[in-house]
Amino acid sequence: MEEKDVVKEFLCYKCQLKIKYDYFGTKPPFAKSIILLEDTYIMKDPFSSEMGMISLGSHCSLCRKSVCSSGDCSIFYTKRFCLSCVQDKIEEFPVEIQQELKNKALRQTSR
């Protein structure tokens, strides 16, 4: 089987999102003018004729688990962090991040 025939799948350990991706890294070959700030799982945008792309997620910089870009699963603050690691190390994040996560938790409990 040739490499182009291999199906590559991204799996978020938090929400179990499982989806095919086209590239992992910082310089997608189909979007040459873009350099990403982190190694990212990317899929080509199926709705764009101009080689658009969708960022699926990356690895948590602490636990190294694959995590999607959803605000329910991770945050990007200089690096990608899963929300589990953020909660474990919350005191090491800026007050603004701490407050944002507290507000999010309050919104979720009021649903």
First-last CA distance in the chain: 48
pLDDT of residue 110: 65
pLDDT tens digits along 12-40: 999 999 999 999 999 998 888 889 999 99
Q: Quick one: pLDDT band at residue 52, thresholds 50, 70, 90?
A: confident
pLDDT of residue 5: 65
Between 3 and 12, the higher pLDDT residue: 12
pLDDT of residue 43: 93
The mean per-residue pLDDT over the stretch 80-84 comes to 93
